[in-house]
Amino acid sequence: VPELQAGSCIMPAKVNPVVPEVVNQVCFKVIGNDTTVTMASEAGQLQLNVMEPVIGQAMFESIHILTNACYNLLEKCVSGITANKAVCESYVYNSIGIVTYLNPYIGHHNGDIVGKICAETGKSVRDVVLERGLLTAAELDDIFSAQNLMHPAYKAKRYTDESEQ
């Protein structure tokens, strides 16, 4: 998160997430406005609602402050965030959930076995798949490439054991 103000004197390297905190405050205000709209709507009689002015004011205020909060979040926070590629890849490759992505290649049954082994041993899906000889390192690299994860094409040889399908 980009640094927009001085951090803490007792934690010199700390960056205060002031923009996300402001967005939270805006959301709390919008929640309050939503409650106002709900209660004012309930207070109306038939099609004549004398509460329309407060309903309109609360709705337009919510739209206005949410719009401003979104622009500020984008300009002063999100645009300054950079991803740590190594950490992000680690999260993907060390997640047992990634085994479901391999089902078209290794079959559901093998995927289930791999997932159980990973849960029991703490090993990565990649390591277990390689140890069991289900796919080669080159195939895994292709399957788990960022491009293929975002736009699956199932380029590698698909699992073909008829008893598993």
Enumerate the active-site residues: 8
**CA-atom Rg of the chain in angstroms:** 26
Structure tokens at 137: 């390192």
d(CA 56, CA 53): 5
Whole-angstrom CA distances from 150 to 62, 85, 94 are 35, 15, 17
User: Over 40-91, what HEC string results?
Assistant: HHHCCECCECCCHHHHHHHHHHHHHHHHHHHHHHHHHCHHHCCCCHHHHHHH
